[in-house]
Amino acid sequence: MALEGATQQIRIAVIDDGEGVDPMDFEPNEEQKLIVEQVRRFVHEEIIPLEATLDPDASEIEPEDFARLSDKVKAMGLWGLDVPIEYGGPGVDLVTRTLIAFEMAQHRAGLYVPCYGVFGTMGLAQLYEATEDQKERYLKPVLRGEKKGFFGLTEPSGGSDPARAIQTRAVKDGNDWVINGSKVYISGADKAQFGLVFARTDKDAGRGGVTCFIVDTDMPGFHVRRVVHTLRSSHYATELAFEDLRVPQENVLGEVNRGFAIANDRLTRQRIPYAAACIGVAIKAQEMAIEYAKQRETFGAPLASRQMIQGMIIDNELDIRTSSLMTLAAAAKAERGEPFRMEAGMAKLLASEAGGRVVDRSMQVHGGIGMTKDLPLERWYREMRIRRVGEGPNEVQRLIIARDLLGGNFK
């Protein structure tokens, strides 16, 4: 079975800041094994049967199903996986969340929204840095499921270097900031009550001149200009416009001109579970390819006996195991409190590209039926293509890795 090593003893050598090689043991402890098994059963017994009743491109479930499944997750003690204990979450460490993400993604919509949001993940981790007043108005309602927020960073001028590409301006006017500009490819803004909007407050300071604002979507001057239809199966992104949008000083998140530091921490840490979801889909695609190759016969023999098919399945397993080890290594380093920017970039880069290859080969093994909506492969194929751009394009990840390896600020 693919990725048996995730539940067995795995040792990997990782470079430890130039001070030699640090062997890391990824043998899950008993608690981790129990949690992973719980999530695996939940996906197989609750999510996959439900998806059989949905449109193949569905990205949401009925409210009654959401409430029923959310209650089951809460009973499992896994509601709000990424929420700290002090805010009522289970306090799950990043390595365990990575192992969970492997399992959570193994269903048709696994790359769109993990288990349709029934695990109650927070998403906007920047709100933990909010003032007490901001936490009362935004963080706590999100944790209770009463409000939804969006993350507004990317602009039409370019997303690969978002800090320098930001042209949305915020100008101080008394106790308010007046925001003018636009954002694009913003997830969920059409269904949110508020969002984090990054705007330039010092035009000459580059990355140091960006501030994060908490913006209510009912404020005058906030507009959802359009829904942007992408490769995804349902609408995913929005384009936003801000026209003389007045935001009070008390809605500045963090410090003025320090907004990109807030954004960058979120982007770096998020790349690890993002990579793990790619791997989870790859694991499921590989399982499907193996099962089909054993059952399907051509010219009197099973596909599994053909060397070309064997080669595809071998390459799938190599991609799965190498990317999973890199992702677990990144999670472990982050959990230890060590610098992990390069490892997170490596994990995202490797997993998104490897996952895409695995899905592509698995479609080829299935032949014609692999191209149909009878199977989830074609949806994963589209979603995987997006993953090479989301959470920072893979070309940018290579730039980050090069900077860390070579010690220079290369353009």
Give the residue numbers marked as catalytic.
391
Q: Please count the CA atoms within 13 angstroms of the CA of 240 that sit on its side-chain side.
A: 34
User: Is 307 exposed, middle or buried, given 0-12, 13-18 or 19+ CB atoms closer than 10 A?
Assistant: exposed
No. of H helices and E strands in the chain? Answer: 12, 12
Euclidean distance between CA atoms 48 and 42, whole angstroms: 9
Burial call 223-250: b when 16+ CB within 10 Å, e when fewer: eeeeeeeeebbeebbbbbbbeebebeee
- Cα separation of 376 and 51, whole Å? 10
Q: How many CB atoms lie within 10 A of CB 399?
A: 17
Output the CA–CA distances (angstroms, integers) from residue 193 to 66, 87, 140, 149, 198, in the order listed: 20, 21, 13, 6, 17
- Contact at 8 Å (CB) between 42 and 72? yes
Closest CA to 236 of 134, 102, 383, 51: 383
The answer to whether the beta carbons of residues 14 and 329 sit under 8 Å apart is yes
CA distances 348 to 260, 329, 398, Å, are 20, 12, 10
Structure tokens belonging to residue 243: 């026209």
